[in-house]
Structure formats: C-alpha cells, structure tokens
Chain A
Amino acid sequence: MLTGLLIYRIILPVPSADLPLTGEANTVVFQADGYGGPIRMQMVLTNTGSIQQLQVLTHQETAAFVTQLDTFLAQFRQKTGIDDQEPGREIDVMTGATVTSRAITQAVAATLHQQPARKDPLPLLPLLLSATLGLSALAALLLGNRILRGLVLLSALFLFGLAHRSIFSILQIAGIQTGHAPALFAAPWWWISFVLALVPALILGRLYCSSLCPFAAIQELLAKIQRIPRKQFTPAAETDRRARKIKYLVLLALLTLTLVLGHLSVADIEPYITFFTGRGTWPVWSLLILVLAAGTFFFRFWCRYLCPAGAFIGLVARFARWKIQSTPACTGCHVCLAACPVNALEAEGSFVQAETAECILCGHCLKICPQKCLHLTATQARPASGTQKQRRAVPSPVAPEQTWLLPVFLLLSVLLLTLGVMYNIYQSTSTAATAESATPDKSEHLKKELLDMGLTLHPAKYWKP
C-alpha cells in the first residue's frame, strides 16, 4: 500500500498547483500560516475596499477546518477592515481549528491594512498557568502525592482539555515533519502542550501522560467508574507487551502517510481531539466510543495500546536518564511488578526498573513497595553482571485474566483507525477535486443572486478561461 501511495505521490500531479503570489488591483492572493502549513487564499475586493469574496485556494488543514470553512469565511464578506487586535471578537473562530481561524483572520486583516501581520503579545497568562501546572505535576511525582497528581490531572482536563482544547497531538509532530509549526506567540497553546509533552520526556519520562494529558484524566476517571462495580481486567503480561507495540505502528504509519501524501489532515484520527472539540469524521467518532468503552475494562486502554502521541513521547522518553528504579535494598519480592497498572516494570533478580517508554509515572509502585526501595533517580544501581531478566515473576493477584476481550477491542480499534485514515485521504483528495470544478449548484446560486439584484447576465466578449 505504501508503495502504491509513493507512486501516487510521485506520478500524479499534486492537486494544489501553486498560483503566483500576484496582486491584481482587486484580486489579492495571499497566504496565512495555518496549523498544517501555508493556506493560500484569494480575496476579491470591491472598489470601496470591502471584501466581496474570500476563498481558500490550497491548504493542509484538518477536517474541522474543511467542514466549517464556508461558514467561517462568510463572516468576512462586506467587511472593510478586521480588528486584528482581538481576532476572536469580530470573527467567530472555528471549533477545533482555532489556530487556523486566528491565522486567517490576521492574514486578512493584514492584507486589508496592507501591513505585515501584527506581532502577537507575549502570552503571559497561558505560560504562567501551564508552568504552574507542569511544576505541580513534577512536585506531585517527586513528593509521591497521589492526591496532588489527581488535582493536577483534573486541572489539566479543564485548562488544556475543556478550556483551550490544546492537547499534545500527533498532528503537531506531523506538522513539524512537513516543516510547519506556528509562530510561538501566534499559537501559545500549541507550543505549551508541545513543550510540556516532550521536555520532561527527555529528562524523566512520560510526565505529560501521567498528569497533564486531559484525555488521560478522562481515562482515569473511566477506570474509577468501573472500579465501583468491580475491578478492571488486567491482561496477561505477555499479551500486554505485544499489544502496546501497536501504538508505535500507528505512529509510524501516520508519520509516513503524512510525509508521503504531504497533507496533514491524513493524521487527523485521534479520538481525544474529537472528544474535546466535538468534531470528527464518523470513523473517529466510532473509535472514540470504542476507546471510551474499552477504557472502562482496561486501564488507560488508549494510552497504552494505541495513542501515537504517547508512542512518540515514549520514544523520546527512552533517552530519559531519570527513571524509577530500585536501590540495593530491594529484596526482589516483585510486589511492584504485579501492582504496576501499565506493566512497565522489569526485574533482573533483585533489581527493578521502569521502562521509561511505557511508565506513566503514576507513582503507584513507589507507594506499594514494602521496602520503600523504589525511587525516581538518575543513579544507575543496576548490578554489574546480568542475572536472567525476569518479568512478572508474581502472577497478578488483583484481577481476573481476560483472554479474548482485549484482542477484540484492539482489532476493532485498528480497523477504525485504518478506516479513519482512509476516509481522511479520500477527503483531502476529493476536497482538492471539488475546489477544481465549481459545482453547478454554486453557479446557479450565484446567477440567481445576481439576477435578484436586478442585474443582467449578458455573455461578455473578450475573455479566456
């Protein structure tokens, strides 16, 4: 399939043929720095300088953008100037495409005023709030305070999830991969989630997944709900180890596809974006429901097995020097191994350490260790010569094993992910196609509109297509 796509990309012409950046007297072609790269736009101005028409020529944006585009652009009609100081006030932003909305608004305003785009002020409040939350997460981890971690997770749910819909996403990685990241001041939340996810990962692991990801909060809440009637399932250790590799495959597939197709929207399949924005294609909606359902049976189902963003953070976290590991005081009882909710601990005799790529830094093991010998530390205490690596020496006493439910959930999820990606590919190529040929409906509508205004439509002479 990949070869097929490569051929498609190389042999077939790219649908977004570049128009020259020219400015005719009344038709201006300009560019906005969108979420997924430059958005080429065309604006037709009347002589009084009001916007007669605004349209997108080519773009790399996600589904949320495409579905709301017409309504969004219609807001600009008749305007002679846009208040670019507060872009949200005059023009309503598109849900789930805030960065894009702001970028377009500012580019239009700048084009109308014919001055370079405004410099955004330093986003002090977002930075301050996020820094506080990040430091609190760190403090909760270092202090081993699970209540504080819960609070941070809840705050993240409200701040990053519900209020600003800024969640670290594979779209960010895919965007950088195709060479486009928004300016820092123009999209502070984009950079905040990016930094919060990747900087701690480099040092001590998946702190973001632990206590800053809003969707993690949702999943931990789901686990709580399920815990009321009964315990969640814990998959067999080996099954879990195999299953969690899926997310790396998802990551690889998405990054490859966006690179090959050059269109960011292909990777727009993360159910948590749909969860917080309320917008998504039907395969992603189905996936969201499935993931939420699976999340009640399996702790952090999405994070552990499917999340491509988590996989990316995990890959970065492999380089982390700080990790949870045991001191020589460890007796090798391996209670921690059984207690780890994500099966991230591995033991070599009486030495235990966390796999930084999988460990979600929940701190459960630190609390449960009878010797209190597990610590988050950079000091390597590993014994010099390797005893046999041992994983999950103690069978799990906490929950009944389940053999068939996890594979079913995984299979369905992968199926829906594939469907979602295919749907996006179809959409991104077909939107380019519909932009190519204006539908007769639109022409009829235009005709009617003009005739209703009391004008004639007399075929003109001297023109060419």
Chain B
Amino acid sequence: MKTVECLLCPRHCRLPEGGRGDCLVRTNVGGKLYSLVYAKPCSVHVDPVEKKPFFHVLPGSSAFSLATAGCNLHCLFCQNWQISQSQPEKTQNIDLPPQAAVDNALRHNCRSIAYTYSDPVIFYEYTLDTARLAQNAGLLNLLVTAAYIEQAPLAELCTVTQAANVDLKGITEAFYKKMCRASLRPVLDALVTMKKLGVWLEVTNLVIPTCNDSDEDLRTLARWIKNNCGADTPLHFSRFWPMHQLMHLPPTPEETLTRARQIAQSEGLHFVYTGNIAGHPGENTFCPVCKKELVQRKRYTLGEIHLASGACAFCGHRIPGIW
C-alpha cells in the first residue's frame, strides 16, 4: 500500500491511497500527496486590517483576505466552522490563481493579503505561491493562523511573511487537547520561530467563560508571551460568542476582558487589546511611556491617530509595528 505521511503539521497523518488528511484538503493519489484547494478559495473578501486583528500593521488599510475549506484544528468554539470543518467539495469555491489574487488585491487598493478565516497552514502551497508574488508586487503578507505547523514548512513560509496574528487558544495542553484536538507545544515553538525569523507578531486569545478565563491561565499566557516574544508583542483578548459546539456557554462578560487586560498589563505587556466589544477602551493604542492615547478605534473604524512615522506624537517613543 502506497501510504504517504504528511509532514506539514504536527499531526503527521498517514494517508492510504485516496485517503485525506485530518485537514480534509490533502489527499494521497497514487502514492503522492496533493493539495485539493490550491487556487480554490471559498472565502474572498476585502477587510479592514483591524478585523484580522492587526493593530500595529498599516492601521486603516484594507487586507485582501482569502481562505479555503478545511482546517487542521477542530476547536469546539470555531467561529468559521462552516468552512473550516468542511470538505473542500462541499464549499462554494472560486478559481483564483496566485497571480489573480495579487491582481485583485492591487485593484481593490489593498496594502496586504491576509491568509485567514480557516488557516493558511492547510492551504500552504497556495499561500506560499501567492505570498511570493504579493511580496514582489509590494504587498504585505499577513497570516492569521493557529500556528499548528511543523518547523520546516513554517521556516519556509516565514521567508515571505511580514506579519502574523497567531491565535493562541489557551496556555495548557489540556485545553488544546480537549477543545481543539491538538497540542500546545508545537504552537509555542512556532511562535518562537516566527519571532526569531523576524515576522511581526500579534497574539490573539479568545477568552471563553469557564474554559480559559481564570486569573492563573491569563497570567501564565501573558507571562509566556512577554518572556518568549517580548513585551512589545500586542496581545488581543477577544470576546467569545456562543458558536459551533459551545452554544451552551454565555458570551464573555465585558468585565472578564477588562480583567484579562489588567492582568496582562500588570505582567508587563505594553500593548494589550480587547476585541469583539465595540467602544471598550481596550481597543485603543496607548503609548507605553507617556500613556497618552495614540490610536483611537471603534470596532474596525479609526478615530484620532497621534503617530508620527511609527513614533508617539507626544513623547517620540517608537511604537513597534509596520507603519
């Protein structure tokens, strides 16, 4: 039997002839591994870059966002499960070769292409080829990912990636095992690698009531990011909304997000944001030195901006990011 072993993500699926990987988009035909979703995205949108969320990457710009079906994680709280947990033949796909994606991004005045919604890891080859062309065309490549990927493919992907928002779903192996059918270790390793390879990192943590909202979890997570990715790494605490297989849980209370933000700030992180709650002060960027408000946001729209070529307009402190 011509079984192949996929080495893209830590799952290392062994596929028999005709079998599919855990991600549902990679298959073994005649002893060779193929991607079924190359140039076949099911979701293509022009989104504000804040929606990804990226708060330190070209604020106010548009990101040409695309995704294919499938995912290598199976989070009970998935917000995009209709596409991420679906086989690619069951979604409505369009033909969008890498060059066409780049052309479209430019035509829609996007400054970047975001590989998002499901996970760029599983449409790896499509991401890689599109990102190469995009880079040459002067576009940024943004990964919105759970970073559940092996080191070698990640290193190659980082050569064409400028920024990544990594969804760090929890900070315990138990959480990853129970809620995502995955493990935490490879994600942490991937974060460190991305940082090392010079990719601009922002981290998102979806705070789910009763699951990962304890003071201890939040503190451990913030501390890990500070120690391994630096105090300047933006951390987004995102509000959970009942979804997919966690319909029985309430939405995250605003107080929880406020508390999370305070804990992370007390751990020494400079840029801690709250997400999915419009009008929360946690949406704004403050200068870590003079504490003045530098970027005002309300959901995905921007208010006043006091940044002068990437530095605080009041005290001149350099704010890290891609401006």
Contact = CB atoms under 8 A, between A and B. Distances in A.
Nearest to A437: B2
B21 A26 contact: yes
B299 interface: no
A59 B309 CA distance: 70
Contacts of A114: none
A461 B154 CA distance: 12
B5 A44 contact: no
A460 B35 contact: yes
A462 B6 contact: yes
Interface magnitude class on chain B: 35 or more
A443 B16 contact: no
Interface string B227-243: 00000000000000000
Interface stretch (B48-56, B87-95, B286-294): B87-95
Interface of A: 24-27, 42, 44, 46-48, 52-53, 55, 57, 435-438, 440, 442-443, 446-447, 450, 453-465
B2 A438 contact: yes
A369 B309 CA distance: 122
A415 B63 CA distance: 78
A39 B6 CA distance: 26
Interface string B11-44: 1111111111110101101111111111110000
Contacts of A459: 32-35, 125
Contacts, number: 135
Contacts of B256: none
B17 A446 contact: yes
Given A27-B13, A57-B1, A463-B5, A44 B20 contact: yes
B88 to A, nearest CB: 6
A26 B13 contact: yes
B40 A455 contact: yes
10 contacts: A25-B74, A53-B19, A437-B2, A438-B17, A443-B30, A454-B40, A457-B36, A459-B35, A460-B8, A462-B7
A275 B48 CA distance: 74
B278 to A, nearest CB: 33
B40 A456 contact: yes
B3 interface: yes
Contacts of B19: 27, 42, 44, 52-53
Enumerate the 4 nearest inter-chain pairs by beta-carbon distance, A residue then B residue, closest first. A458-B38, A443-B30, A453-B89, A463-B33
A463 B7 contact: yes
B98 to A, nearest CB: 11
B29 A443 contact: yes
A456 B181 contact: no
Nearest to B69: A455
Contact of B16 (A27, A447, A455, A460): A27
B74 A460 contact: no
Nearest to A55: B16
A442 B8 CA distance: 26
Contacts of B153: 461-462
Nearest to A22: B14
A460 to B, nearest CB: 4
Most buried by A among B5, B20, B93, B128: B20
Interface string B59-91: 000000000000000100000000001111100
A435 B32 CA distance: 17
B20 A463 contact: no
